Structure 1
Amino acid sequence: MKRTLRHILTLAACLAAFAGCMKWDYGTTEDFQASERGLFITNEGNFQYGNASLSCYDPETKHVENEVFFRANGFKLGDVAQSMTIRNGVGWIVVNNSHVIFAIDVDTFKEVGRITNFTSPRYIHFLSDEKAYVTQLWDNRIFIVNPERYEITGYIECPGMTMESGSTEQMVQYGKYVYVNCWSYQNRILKIDSETDEVVGELTVGIQPTSLVMDKNNKMWTITDGGYEGSPYGYEAPSLYRIDAEKFEIEKQFRFELGDWPSEVQLNGTRDTLYWINDDIWRMQVEAERVPVRPFIEYRDTKYYGLTVDPRNGDVYVADAIDYQQQGVVYRYTARGELVDRFFVGIIPGAFCWK
């Protein structure tokens, strides 16, 4: 299961975090000119194998290019690619166990800069061209960076965490406040004042909230995985939560069955429909009063690992990690649930980013 796997991998990363810096060996390069619109897939790769990679898919032509970072730059992306964000034509790729964030030109895939010396970075959230937050695993701080200078400029101390239990994940913003879910061995959403860079509030939810998105009504949604049987932090049935961003309080809790493992909450382009993975792929309107009884896309006896929705036409893309060893597959469905394409990417495709 996705979160269990990530927990094991990142625990090992903690033990090896400062054992040495990742070395990049430069080789021959290729020239690319990507289409105006496309979908990036970050492939995590296997922990400590340094085989993370980046794929790029053109929805119009249904053409995929794999290993584009390596082919454009002449060196591997690194160890465990976690996430990617695009801002002003620059793609920011967060590479967890290599403790680095690469900045690339989204048309040529060539590196334009990098920020190093993180603990175990997870996600980056931009406040301006000169300021961004970077969440961490196994660190009780959120890092503040200057993207223009590619440097770390400060830290936000997170209350109730130690270096061993620290965990901050995805971020959304409402006004001047940035909200972040705390996942591994945590059960909170933190509220950060982006002007003072201080945590000014926290909200308790279920055990291990795995995702965080903001819908059209300024309601935040998070889904908890409930931990696992035998966990020292506890084990409970997971839940989906709707949270009012302005009041910072829970409005609705949708409970799952004990033993379910929901994850990867996503929104469509109009932010009025939720999608998530719980063996099957599920879909629900944000105003719904109960979760659906039938899935949108049925389970295929495989390992659904990542999920995204095309913001333009509502097509749904599902990443299949297969056995975590071979190339993964991405399935593309229409908004009606019809399969229209499937393509191979890298090892353990985990996150998507729309250009």
Structure 2
Amino acid sequence: MKHQLQHFFKLTGFLLLTALAFACRKDTPFDEDSEQGAKTPSLTVKGLYVLNEGNWGSNKSSLDYYSYDDGKYTRNIFGTANPAVTLGLGDVGNDIKIYGAKMYVVVNGSNKVEILNASNARQVAKLEINNPRYVTFYKNFAYITSYDGYVAMVDTTALSTIKTKIMVGNQPEEMAVVGNKLYVANSGGYNYPNYDRTVSVIDLTNNTEIKKIDVAINLDRLRADQYGDIYVSSRGQMDQSGEYIINPSLFVIDTKTDLIKKDFKIPVSNFSINGDDAYLYSYSYATQKSTYVKLNVKDETIVSNNFITDGTETLIATPYGIEVDPSSGDIFLTDAKDYVSPGTIYCFDKAGKKKFSFTTGDIPAHITFLFK
């Protein structure tokens, strides 16, 4: 009996310590040396850039700017700032981020990354990468996924050359840095129905892939929260008739163990995380209907099944891009409409009420904030 009681108290103590450790991890924002993770509340937003994809082969990618100071929205500022670039921004703008004083614009169809002055959008350099997809940063390096199956590492001071290529899975998409690890969503998007289903983990101390985490097929969006967890979406798989045979979903990976800790079992087209709040939308091409879900990433629960609270979601035909202002909590959501006409960007306050909207270029897809 004495040994049984000792075992009981040891087990109880272990479970209590485990629970406290988990709670403490979720109560404490993750310390991360990258542009991902917790945002600094003291930063003041000066404006935002909108990257319009433009249809494949149309060479109609464009860059817009919204100024917080005067409320003015200006279209196609790249062409105005760079009149000597005769072909314009290029074909299919796929990602945009600001790091330091420079802005990186990934132009997928043109096989390049335009590196611009973040304050005026003037060209600083151009980097040639075959089939580039997304960009993220760690210390003095930019990491860019290529559908050729690698992550290109580029020195942000040299700019024009690739330092190394880190081989990952098939057709890698989005990335996020947590601590000294880079997480890469591998899609295998060209390989229907034999998609990839892994997240590559790269050790940034030596820039090598150290493992692959098996998650689900055709991975796409990937974000880090402020507690060191990774949220990654799966597009699922359809049959030839357009019916899902494997449903899309959203998964959470604990980067301390690199194990899946939760499957939300909800479809996600795109999402943005700001503090404890995650805003997700999903668009169904079959039904042409959308959902707008809000999550709490601290306790990993669904807060609302519609974060747009004033009924104006009916104005949005085809949601296509989303980001949250880290200082105000305003939600910016873009509408690609019919993919051939100018789109719209909407701003909602953090209570979910529409504040304003502007007409954009064709297929507005990606947003980045410029800070003062």
Smaller-chain TM-score bracket: 0.7 to 0.9
Is residue 2:172 matched to residue 1:168? Answer: yes
Distance in 2 separating the partners of 1:294 and 1:229: 28
Distance in 2 separating the partners of 1:241 and 1:70: 40
Aligned match of 1:323: 338
Change (3 A) 1:126 1:168: same
Q: Verify the 8 A CA contact 1:62 1:341 in the aligned structure 2.
A: no
Q: Map 1:67-216 to 2 at 5 A.
A: 67-74=76-83, 75=85, 76-116=88-128, 118-129=129-140, 131-137=141-147, 139-149=148-158, 150-158=160-168, 161=169, 166-183=170-187, 184=189, 185-216=195-226
Q: Verify the 8 A CA contact 1:225 1:238 in the aligned structure 2.
A: yes
Q: Verify the 8 A CA contact 1:280 1:296 in the aligned structure 2.
A: no
Q: Verify the 8 A CA contact 2:294 2:304 in the aligned structure 1.
A: no
Q: Verify the 8 A CA contact 2:175 2:222 in the aligned structure 1.
A: yes
List runs of 5+ in structure 2 lacking aligned partners: 1-43, 190-194, 283-289
Q: CA deviation at 1:305?
A: 0.5
Deviations 1:243-272 (A, max 9, x none): 11111111111113xxxx52212111xx21
Q: Verify the 8 A CA contact 1:42 1:53 in the aligned structure 2.
A: yes
**TM-score (norm: length of structure 2):** 0.78
SS in 2 for 1:82: strand
Change (3 A) 1:311 1:44: same
Q: Verify the 8 A CA contact 2:49 2:368 in the aligned structure 1.
A: yes
Give 1:286's match in structure 2, choosing from 297, 319, 329: 297
Q: CA deviation at 1:280?
A: 2.4
Distance in 1 separating the partners of 2:180 and 2:205: 7
Distance in 1 separating the partners of 2:103 and 2:300: 37
Q: CA deviation at 1:331?
A: 0.7
Q: Verify the 8 A CA contact 2:182 2:201 in the aligned structure 1.
A: yes
**TM-score (norm: length of structure 1):** 0.81
Q: Verify the 8 A CA contact 1:223 1:265 in the aligned structure 2.
A: no
Alignment-mate amino acid for residue 346 of structure 2: Y
Aligned match of 2:352: 337
Distance in 2 separating the partners of 1:151 and 1:325: 35
List runs of 5+ in structure 1 lacking aligned partners: 1-34
Bigger relative CO (Cα 8 Å, ≥ 6 apart): 2
Deviations 1:186-214 (A, max 9, x none): 21111001122211011111222221111
SS in 2 for 1:284: strand
Give 1:54's match in structure 2, choosing from 60, 63, 82: 63
Alignment-mate amino acid for residue 102 of structure 1: E
Q: CA deviation at 1:330?
A: 0.4
Is residue 2:315 matched to residue 1:306? Answer: no
Q: CA deviation at 1:229?
A: 2.4
Which runs of at least 4 in structure 1 moved beyond 6 Å after TM superposition?
Answer: none
SS in 2 for 1:169: strand
Distance in 1 separating the partners of 2:303 and 2:277: 12
SS in 2 for 1:70: helix
SS in 1 for 2:329: coil
Is residue 2:59 matched to residue 1:44? Answer: no
SS in 2 for 1:212: strand
* Percent of pairs with identical residues: 27
Alignment-mate amino acid for residue 322 of structure 1: K
Q: CA deviation at 1:114?
A: 1.1
Q: CA deviation at 1:292?
A: 4.8
Q: CA deviation at 1:338?
A: 0.9
Q: CA deviation at 1:288?
A: 4.0
Change (3 A) 1:339 1:170: same
Q: CA deviation at 1:235?
A: 3.6
Deviations 1:83-119 (A, max 9, x none): 1111111101110011111111122211011111x11
Q: CA deviation at 1:294?
A: 2.7
Q: CA deviation at 1:36?
A: 6.9
Pick the structure with greater CA Rg: 2
Distance in 1 separating the partners of 2:80 and 2:217: 41
Q: Verify the 8 A CA contact 2:203 2:210 in the aligned structure 1.
A: yes
Change (3 A) 1:287 1:148: closer
Distance in 2 separating the partners of 1:60 and 1:236: 47
Q: Verify the 8 A CA contact 1:83 1:94 in the aligned structure 2.
A: yes
Alignment-mate amino acid for residue 264 of structure 1: N
Q: CA deviation at 1:172?
A: 1.2
Residue correspondences, number: 305
SS in 1 for 2:279: strand
Q: Verify the 8 A CA contact 1:225 1:239 in the aligned structure 2.
A: yes
